[in-house]
Amino acid sequence: MHTANDPTAPTAPTGPARRSLLLAGGAGALALAAGCRTGPGTTADHAPDGGTPRRGGRLRAAFAGGGAGETLDPHAANLFVDAARAKALFDKLADFGADLAPVPRLAARWEPNAALDTWRITLRPAAFHDGRPVTAEDVLFSYRRIADPKGTFRAKASLEPIDLAASRAVDAATVEFRLKRPYAEFPNVLAAFGAYVVPRGATAFDRPVGSGPFSFVSFTPGSSLLVKRHPGYWEGAPHLDELEFLIAGEESARVNALLGGQVEYAHELNPATARAHQGKGRIDVVRLPGSSMQGFVMKTDRPPFDDKRVRQAFLLIADRRELVDGALSGTGEIGNDLFGKGCRYYASGLPQRTQDLDRARALLKEAGAEGLKVTLDTAPAATGFVEAAGIFKEQAARAGVTVEVKVGNKETYWKDIQTSGTFASYRSGAMPIESHVSQRLLTGSTTNATHWRHRDFDDLYQQAQSTPDEQQRTALYERMQRRLHDEGGFLIWGFADWIVATAPTVRGVSRTAPANTLDWARFDRTWLA
């Protein structure tokens, strides 16, 4: 049941025939999903654009970058631009659809054993840019490189469940992963950020060779990467002849470059800029919903938040609409203190929490916390952080709580709030609900910002991972989310859109894929009209 049909033959033709193939694949995967956005794939996104894809041309895309320290090593990816470049040059075994359910990529299918602790991955026929086929040995080499005990690659934590010493290549097209424990959601690991497949033996990436839709031409760190169409791409060659990634750190520079015709795609725009240009016809503003969860974290093991009534009071203080309108300029939707709105397993049946100051006051009184004073740690580490903190301070004042906003250092913010303080601004990019739980809400989680450590909750998660039946698993996820919704440390007030803009000639840009999912910053399906 975790398998999905191969959505395309490796030599799929371009044009309408190919689109229907993709539709079929998308529908197959949709049936597996708990039902949310439009499901994975390029399918519905392209239809409104109209017209047959046109071959040719160079698309220039402007991203914020990382300066001279930039690398094309896909395992070292850290920034959005790293992920976008890695996606052009390399492939993962799987990637996330718009609902954050894994979609097969280099893996044609995956099959677990009955205990869910051994997974057999069948690779689709695909080749690296130099013509070598992608084999099981390449996959094992890549995963071992990421998981190297001395290494510091970001995906290392995601690969932790795999016992790589015991995993093996069954044949050239089959990998068998042995896991340390049952893991029903193992395909999420195959789609993890940075878990790209590189050719075995690859150590230097100044002239990277991958299996992605584009092959390397030239690279100037901190400035530009030029890639060209890979005609033998397994999913069909891209429409564009060339693709250039350009670096412009300042948002106004990216917008000016787009308006001035120097680039055709600008990543990451401010809501105010988007509003100024939307519908004017000069540029096409694309909002990717659900890209960034916005909230506050309460340390559930420290006063005053070790009393669940105080946490519940804080959840009731938030006026979510006012926060979305004020801190995100209205570009987003409100949250219900649960991660992953619109994603697979999301408990959409739970009632939407709304502001209730009387109830909040009563709870605080019950907890003996009248006249409470709390310090809210924040920093300009993400859009809207400081604004949201200011708005929440006003809302809390109406419930008799004094919130003192402390603005910290943005470069060290994430580490600072990990261990110190009690109440802090928080955001997260899109990821499956399972990853959110395993990385942040288990006793052994490495980034457990709410200090949520409950054996019975850990057991629920482990039970879900040992449950092969999708429906039973959904019920277990619902139980976990019900508990978090009732008394968790995450106050999740909204989900911000991610804003990109394109020149009016650009077609085939997904309007549904959250940042870091398969169809986000995906240029092989893009064309210039």
Partner 1 sequence: MTGGLAWTGRRLLLGAGQTAAVVLLVFVLTEALPGDAAVALAGDQPDPERIARIREAMGLDRPAAERFLEWVAGMPRGDLGTSLATGRPVTGHLAAGAGPTLILAGATLTLLVPLSLGLGMLAARREGGLTDRAVSAVTVAVHSVPEFALGVLLAAVFALHLGWLPATAVGTAVTGDPAVLVLPVLVLTARPVCTLSRLVRAGMIEAMASPYVAQARRYGLSASRVRWAHALPGALAPAGQQLARTCDWLLGGVIVVEALFVVPGLGTVLIDALAARDVPVVQGLAVVYGLVTVMANLGADLLARRLAPRSEVAA
Residues that bind partner 1 (CB under 8 A): 60, 62, 66-69, 71, 78, 150, 152, 154, 156-157, 221-224, 244, 246-250, 252-253, 256-257, 259-260, 262-263, 409, 411-412, 414-415, 418, 427-428, 446-447
Residues 6+ apart with CB under 8 A from 95: 102, 103, 105, 191, 517, 518
Compute the least distance from the CB of residue 49 to partner 1, in Å: 25
Shorter beta-carbon distance to partner 1: residue 117 or 434: 434
Residues 293, 343: contact at Cβ < 8 Å?
Answer: no
State in angstroms the smallest separation of the CB of 435 from partner 1.
12
The token duo for 516 is 């870091």
Nearest distance in Å: CB 246, partner 1: 5
> How many CB atoms are located within 10 Å of the residue 11 CB?
11
User: Nearest to residue 4, comparing CAs of 136, 103, 122, 126?
Assistant: 103
Hey, what long-range contacts does 361-364 have (CB within 8 A, 24 or more apart)?
361/313, 361/399, 361/400, 363/309, 363/310, 363/312, 363/313, 363/316, 364/309, 364/310, 364/313, 364/399, 364/400, 364/401
Q: How far is the CB of 125 from partner 1 (least distance, A)?
A: 35
**Least distance to partner 1 from the beta carbon of 70, Å?**
9
C-alpha 523: how far from chain center:
18
Distance in Å, CB of 120 to partner 1, minimum: 30
Of the two residues 11 and 447, which places its CB atom closer to partner 1 in the complex? Answer: 447
Nearest CA-CA partner of 222 in 58, 78, 81: 81
Looking at the DSSP assignment, which residues form a beta bridge with residue 215?
Answer: 228
Separation of alpha carbons 394 and 318, rounded Å: 10
Closer Cβ to partner 1, 104 or 384, answer by number:
384
Q: Which is nearer to partner 1, 118 or 516 (CB)?
A: 516
Nearest CB to partner 1, comparing residues 96 and 110: 96
Q: Which helix (H) or strand (E) holds 380?
A: none
In angstroms, give the least distance from the CB of 482 to partner 1.
27
Q: What is the DSSP letter of 525?
A: T
Closer CB to partner 1, 65 or 335, in the complex: 65
Residue with tokens 């003192």: 404
| Residue 102 in tokens | 């894994």
Between 154 and 393, CB nearer to partner 1: 154
Nearer to partner 1, 253 or 367 (CB): 253
| Min CB(117)–partner 1 separation in Å | 24
Beta bridge partners of 498: 288
Least distance (Å) between residue 346 CB and partner 1? 22
Report in angstroms the alpha-carbon separations of 218 from 208, 280, 487.
10, 35, 52
Nearer to partner 1 among residue 154 and residue 406 (C-beta): 154
